[in-house]
Amino acid sequence: MLTVSGSTSSRSRFCDGFSRRDFLRIGGLGMGGLSLPGLLQAEQLAGLRNSKKSVIMIYMAGAPPHQDMYDLKMDAPSEVRGEFRPIPTNVDGIEICELMPGLAKVMDKCVPIRSLYGAPNGSHDSFMCYTGKVGSTLDMVGQPPGGWPSIGAVMSKMMGPARPNIPPFVGLAPRAGHPPYGSSGKPGFLGFANGPFKPSGPGERDLVLETLTAARLDERRGLLASFDQFRRDADASGLMEGLDQFHEQAFGMLTSSELAVALDLDQESPKVRERYGKGDSRNFGDGAPRNLEHFLLARRLVEAGVRCVTLNFGRWDFHSENFSGMRSHAPLFDQGLSALIEDLHERGMAEDVLVIAWGEFGRTPMINKDAGRDHWPRVGGALLSGGGLRTGQVIGATDRLAGEVADRGVHFGEVFATIYHQLGINANETTLEDLSGRPHFLVDGHKPMPELI
């Protein structure tokens, strides 16, 4: 079993990236020295830190209607079937909504999941999409001390930065009227040193030194270290160690142009930018923006070495006017996601970059009196691509009304176990310690999906 404990100071790291504390924990170092299993586990952790694997997770805020995207039911009654027609894709036997012709052309590079389940209730929250755990972005009840960490925080902790001046976890979601719609995934008990760097809004301008020189910045770093030393010596919670890592990362970003360049879309050709499109940078209601440039930014960030990028797209909570809502969202989503998938393949990055797009649950089979679909946690859908997965197939099925799992139900936790597997992490043998020192497995007993690996 591989155990990774909490925050460690950058001052106590060996040249290969291990901390003294991690080195003592890996494999359980006993009085007789490091055992063979311990050595093998240390090699696993070292391999993760040298890996080029990354994840782009797209949270479709508000939960999209699965039966109007990947699971159309043309034989269902009209009050269930809806207004849209299916179109063929480039994979025989797979059809999707007519509003998504771009994804239809790259379906050989995708895997629609039509039988996703596990949402605990019908409340709007990005939490399960980012953690695979039952819980809430706003409420710590039932969570371990510190809270469950998101996948970006887990990747940050276990894999570390791929490059010294590039943060391992970037969240592109701006603040939203409904806070869970604007979450990028929280660090939980892994501490804010493993939380998302969020370059939205005016913060992006702070990545470049203007009137402050690098030498002057070094002086301020020294002053800060001196001022905080007494708190560091007395701290037993790990908070100050987390601040050390956070400060080192921040200073590294300021003294290097790598991240600023990755965030600069002007570096791209007009042809590439046109292919992705612009969309809308303003939040849609109390949800997320329909910002197509975030798909391009996500590609640029993983190309620069970011381990995990999360972005939030739109507000799919169509309790009324479901079909006009789909007409305003699905074509933009289709353009951005299909451009991202094609771009990753053309650049030779697809094997290393796993893309997933999903929401917190599905929508009701029955269309309501306001021409909308309501919350339906019993089944929903998702789309995966890249990451070395076996693509060009559909997994799972619902009944004729798209209301119940009929074949091969897929739990959120299985998807997370699969993602971790593709990253080289055995989620059922790896534990992370919460703030009380109690270890937790990354998933709750769920196994990677054999159809995909």
Q: Judging by DSSP bridges, how do beta strands 430-433 and 439-441 pair with one another?
A: antiparallel
The pLDDT, as a whole number, for residue 73 is 97
Task: Quote the CA–CA distance of 210 and 205 in Å, as a whole number.
Answer: 10
| Residue 443 pLDDT exceeds 60 | yes
- Whether residue 434 lies inside any domain: the answer is no
Q: Is residue 439 in a domain?
A: no
47 inside domain: no
Mean pLDDT of 247-276: 82
Q: Is residue 8 part of a domain?
A: no
Q: What is the mean pLDDT of residues 297-319?
A: 98
Rounded Cα distance, 420 and 358, in Å = 17
- Cβ atoms of 168 and 306 within 8 Å: the answer is yes
Whether the pLDDT of residue 241 is over 90: the answer is: no
What confidence tens digit (pLDDT) does each residue in 358-374 have?
999 999 999 999 999 99
**Confidence band of 107 (pLDDT split at 50, 70, 90):** very high
**pLDDT over threshold 70, residue 393:** yes
pLDDT at 375 over 80: yes
Identify the CA nearest to 293 among candidates 332, 331, 261: 332
Q: In total, how many domains does the chain have?
A: 1
- Mean pLDDT estimate for the chain: 86
Q: Quick check: is 15 in a domain?
A: no
Please give the single-letter amino acid code of residue 340.
L
Which residues, 6+ apart, have CB-to-CB distance to 17 below 8 Å? Answer: 46, 49, 160
pLDDT (tens digit per residue) in 39-50: 555 666 778 888
The mean pLDDT of 51-76, rounded to a whole number, is: 97
Amino acid, res. 145: P
State the residue for tokens 């059922």: 428
Token pair of 450 as six digits: 């054999």
59 φ, ψ (degrees, to nearest 5): -90, 120
> What is the band of 12 on the pLDDT scale with cuts at 50, 70, 90?
very low
Give per-residue pLDDT as tens, 70-105: 999 999 999 999 999 999 999 999 999 999 999 999
CA distance 318 to 307: 33
pTM for this entry: 0.85
User: What pLDDT score does 156 carry?
Assistant: 96
pLDDT at 249: 61
- Helix, strand, coil shares of the chain, percent, nearest 5, are 40, 15, 45
For residue 19, tell me if it sits in a domain.
no
Q: Which domain CATH number covers 183? A: 3.40.720
- Confidence check: pLDDT of 444 > 70: yes
Domain membership of residue 26 (yes or no) is no
221 falls within a domain:
no
Query: How many C-beta atoms surround the C-beta of residue 102 within 10 A?
Result: 18
pLDDT, one tens digit per residue, over 120-153 is 999 999 999 999 999 999 999 999 999 999 999 9
Indicate the pLDDT class of residue 432, thresholds 50, 70 and 90.
Answer: very high
User: Residue 172: which domain range?
Assistant: 54-204+257-424
